[in-house]
Structure 1
Amino acid sequence: MRPFNQRTVVSIVYVTAMFMAAMDASVVNLALPAIMKEFQAPPPDAGIVNIGYLVSLAVCLPIAGWLGDRWGTKRIFLIALGMFTAASLLCGLAEHLAALNLFRIIQGAGGGLITPVGMAILFRTFPPEERPKISRVLVLPVAVAPALGPIISGFFTDQLSWRWIFFINVPIGLIILLVGLLCLDEHTESDAGKFDLPGFLLSAPGMPLAVFALSRGPADGFGSPAVLAAGVGGLVLLTALVFVELRTRHPLLNLRLLADRVFGMMSIVSLFSAAGLLGMLYVFPLMYQDVLNHSALDTALITFPEALGLMLASQLMPRSLSRLGPRRLISSALLCASVLFGLLSLTGPGTNPWLLRMLLFLAGFFLGHAVGAVQVTSFANIPSASMGRATTLFNVQNRLGSALGVAIMSCLLAVMSRHTEGALPDLAAYRTALLGAAGFLIAAFCFALGIRDADAAPGMGARSSSSARDERAAASSK
């Protein structure tokens, strides 16, 4: 007899694995100068350490749903976690930059599979009416990991070595692998279908090219030959992918799921919210360091209250969702967060640090309500058989939204810097970029006004009406 029930095991395994993957996305940035110094590599090569990871993740992300449905979510999740853990060890042992880049590519492949497959396991384990309750633990990888990453990176890089930012994943990964191997249940879909080769041949280069263009465009210029070619190529391939996937019976990216009003609307809100949040988290630390002349560690500590706000929101969100409903909760939270982003844009040399901490805490608090409510209600009407493809599609658009937010904020900084005497953006440029991040939240707010509470009833923590149950039963039987 197992010592833990399946829901406890799934929660622990998912949250811990996601925590590692989410923290790894932010832990490398502060260590890049030390890595470049040790390998005696020029600064332009620093971006390759992250680009390889992002490109590999973008290649593997679209196929995660089919792999989980066809070969079993437990098996694919554990393989991905094993890849990520082994690659972390190899990254820490790398003796030259080429080896580090190769191991980061393997790490990105594992990370690209962990998120959607793990989410499918989670949402198949917990029915819609119970998902608001688990949002209290889901916020840990979303909120704490990105904020804790720079602090851990700064500590290890200064006190030990940059290699420890990778070594720390190894014992955690091994423990979760053992727990998952012994305690997770397997799930496969009998109607997973054949592998969508045309979809893969379009998404495998299309997604990485788009991510590469969005990632390198701000640094190299969107008019540079490499970035321009990648951007145009990615756009053409992704456009073709849309037409192909809509005509395929078992597509890698089931775009027909967007026809569900709740899932489609929440996906758009999530995309713009991710763009706004990641855009702010990209711009504000740069402004605090480059213009206001604070250290990287001080910057990480002053932005950490945003994660605390997200954590507090996660504890209150289920009750708020039940009382206000998705439309009022999500729209009001996004509006308040956009106002706070606007206030952050007024930051100057004499701004009280505690005022900034309070503003970031409140921004996290309101965004935590919005992001948490979106996540638990998005899949309210998605049947179990389609959950793997739905979580894959949700994560693909969320990843593109994050990359889009950072790219556009970088473009705003670049455009504004042209009007200054120096080569670097000044305070006005950063303020404009922060207003741009607020603009993404306003766009999300506008779409959130179109949410209908009745459509998302299962995700509000209450039993749906008999008609809604009949609709979900009919959807499941298709």
Structure 2
Amino acid sequence: MGDTRRRGPDQRVVVAALFVATMFITIMDTTIVNVALPSIARDLGVAPDSIDEIVVSYLVSLAVVIPASGWLADRFGTRPVFLAALAIFTAASALCGLAESVPELVGFRILQGVGGGLLTPVGMAMLFGVFPPAERARAARILVVPTVIAPAVGPILGGVLTDQASWHWVFLVNIPIGIVAFVFGALFLADHRRPSTGGFDVVGFVLSASGFALILYALSVGPTRGWTSPLILTTAGVGVVATAATVWWELRRTHPLLVLRLFGNALFRNVSLTLGAMFMAFMAVLFLIPLLMQTVRGASATTSGLVIFPEAIGVLVASQISGRLYPTVGPRRLMMGGLAVIALSTLGLGLLGVDASLWAFRAVLFVFGFGAGLVMTPAQAAAFATISRADNAQASALFNALRQLAAAVGVALVTTALSLARPGETGGGAAAGDLGGIFQWGFYVAAAVAALGIAVAARVRDADAVATMGRPAA
């Protein structure tokens, strides 16, 4: 299998520590910058509505490199690719913190996305490579920490750093973590590669990277530019065509860049789609709450982040419970129950009045996070149950690409719902109560997405995931 055994600490401990540290800073980077955008605009002397490209450039850059991550890890080894990606991400974070203009910052954010786009799938492949199937539930509890807590911590940390220091620190904060993780990985991380990997599929890379990036761009910018904008229609249309061409091309390749046949695996496909539905609702709510708090309630960025944070506590509590229930209950019922909790709690957020106590929002968000934890642990434990170790890197690339796309779709759906529900221009601004009613529709859409996820989760067969449940197959 191409393993190279290195003396030192247990690789499960090494990989878990690296995964948590690096995934935390890369995933947090998708939310920590948002609260600093007004400060960046003022400091760099540009209009606040002209710097969304700082966020979008990072997301699109992630999308471009994720398809190549599996091939790179298989060909060059998980260790060198992971360390190179970490070095790129850390160096780019430093450059972002030193940027003196918007074009410089956008360029460095693109470089940062290259590192982040490789770190996430390669890190996941390493994690599932060192944890055997019977211990996947334990590995999934590790995955939950950065995946769900980082987006909630980002707004709080971003607000504090911006208010107490400067916007530069939302990027510079990554440097000490990145350096320590790199040194630790260079000393103790073992390598894995699959030497039988074919040559690099240039056509597949161009098609998949273009399609994924253009679709993600359209989803990110469409709600604000307008879905009928020629730019959005063109990018979305070309993105869909490129994605369709990717499927046609890759299914005919002996050594494809993206092993799309893995979606023929019923367990991997259904669990990935279930987790995708969960992430659509999850990221939609994390987008709506700060916006509601700051535009309707007039709360600060820090306060908005603190309102969200009970969600992270709910995830941690549920991940421990679901991890213990998983061997006996199995993934299907846990995921269905978790999505039901998400749907009901999201509906509850929509029914809360604009002037409701912040503690009421925190309580409902705790329940919301609890539902997410019930979904994430069994989903991430079961998804790779019938995937061979040789296909771990490729499956991780597909898994993360789908998750990234789901997050963008979720935000785009609720943003569009807000724009459709907004009163027409009749002169004068909308009252707080009117704005609260607009936000209700965003929460209702997110709840509907979670409810649809229940139907997908019902298609998961516990028997297929038995290898991860600590029981012998029937």
1-side partners of 2:7 and 2:95: how far apart? 33
2:356 paired with 1:359: no
The corresponding residue for 1:433 is: 442
- Would you say the 8 A contact 1:276–1:438 is kept in 2? yes
- Would you say the 8 A contact 2:354–2:436 is kept in 1? no
The corresponding residue for 2:347 is: 342
Give matches, 1:37-436, under 5 Å.
Answer: 37-419=42-424, 421=426, 426-436=435-445
Q: TM-score, normalised by structure 2?
A: 0.95
- Would you say the 8 A contact 1:413–1:430 is kept in 2? yes
Aligned residue for 1:345, secondary structure, equals helix
In structure 2, give the amino acid aligned to 1:429: I
Aligned residue for 2:299, secondary structure, equals coil
- Would you say the 8 A contact 2:140–2:376 is kept in 1? no
Give the Å deviation of 1:2: 4.8
The corresponding residue for 2:464 is: 455
2-side partners of 1:43 and 1:290: how far apart? 15
1-side partners of 2:397 and 2:10: how far apart? 26
The corresponding residue for 2:452 is: 443
Aligned residue for 1:95, secondary structure, equals coil
Judged with a 3 Å threshold, the aligned counterparts in structure 2 of structure 1 residues 350 and 423 are, in CA distance, closer, same or farther, namely closer
Judged with a 3 Å threshold, the aligned counterparts in structure 2 of structure 1 residues 225 and 418 are, in CA distance, closer, same or farther, namely farther
In structure 2, give the amino acid aligned to 1:463: R
The corresponding residue for 1:30 is: 35
Q: CA RMSD in A?
A: 1.4
- Would you say the 8 A contact 2:223–2:412 is kept in 1? yes
In structure 1, give the amino acid aligned to 2:471: R
In structure 2, give the amino acid aligned to 1:274: F
- Would you say the 8 A contact 1:381–1:456 is kept in 2? yes
| Residues 265-295 of structure 1: per-residue CA shift (max 9 Å, x gap) | 1111111111111111111221222123222
Q: TM-score, normalised by structure 1?
A: 0.95
- Would you say the 8 A contact 1:211–1:400 is kept in 2? yes
Aligned residue for 1:4, secondary structure, equals coil
2-side partners of 1:195 and 1:446: how far apart? 38
Worse overlay, 353-362 or 304-313: 353-362
Give the Å deviation of 1:36: 0.6
2-side partners of 1:128 and 1:143: how far apart? 23
Worse overlay, 336-345 or 286-295: 286-295
The corresponding residue for 1:470 is: none
- Would you say the 8 A contact 1:69–1:189 is kept in 2? yes
1-side partners of 2:118 and 2:423: how far apart? 40
2-side partners of 1:136 and 1:205: how far apart? 33
Which consecutive residues of structure 1, in runs of 5 or more, have no partner in the other structure? 468-478
Aligned residue for 1:75, secondary structure, equals helix
| Residues 44-88 of structure 1: per-residue CA shift (max 9 Å, x gap) | 321011111111111101000000000111100000000000000
1-side partners of 2:176 and 2:341: how far apart? 40
Aligned residue for 1:81, secondary structure, equals helix
- Would you say the 8 A contact 1:284–1:434 is kept in 2? no
- Would you say the 8 A contact 1:420–1:426 is kept in 2? no
> Kindly, what percent of the aligned residue pairs are identical?
41
Judged with a 3 Å threshold, the aligned counterparts in structure 2 of structure 1 residues 464 and 18 are, in CA distance, closer, same or farther, namely same
Give the Å deviation of 1:3: 4.9
- Would you say the 8 A contact 2:343–2:448 is kept in 1? yes
| Residues 234-257 of structure 1: per-residue CA shift (max 9 Å, x gap) | 011111111111111222221110
Worse overlay, 38-47 or 302-311: 38-47
In structure 2, give the amino acid aligned to 1:402: A
2-side partners of 1:69 and 1:148: how far apart? 33
| Residues 331-350 of structure 1: per-residue CA shift (max 9 Å, x gap) | 01111210111011012133
1-side partners of 2:461 and 2:141: how far apart? 24
- Would you say the 8 A contact 1:302–1:356 is kept in 2? yes
The partner residue of 1:464 within 443, 468, 472 is 472
In structure 1, give the amino acid aligned to 2:93: S
Aligned residue for 1:426, secondary structure, equals helix
Runs of 4+ aligned residues of structure 1 deviating over 3 Å after TM superposition are: 418-425
2-side partners of 1:227 and 1:110: how far apart? 27
1-side partners of 2:423 and 2:231: how far apart? 22
2-side partners of 1:85 and 1:318: how far apart? 33
Judged with a 3 Å threshold, the aligned counterparts in structure 2 of structure 1 residues 333 and 252 are, in CA distance, closer, same or farther, namely same
Aligned residue for 2:59, secondary structure, equals helix
1-side partners of 2:417 and 2:425: how far apart? 13
- Would you say the 8 A contact 2:128–2:139 is kept in 1? no
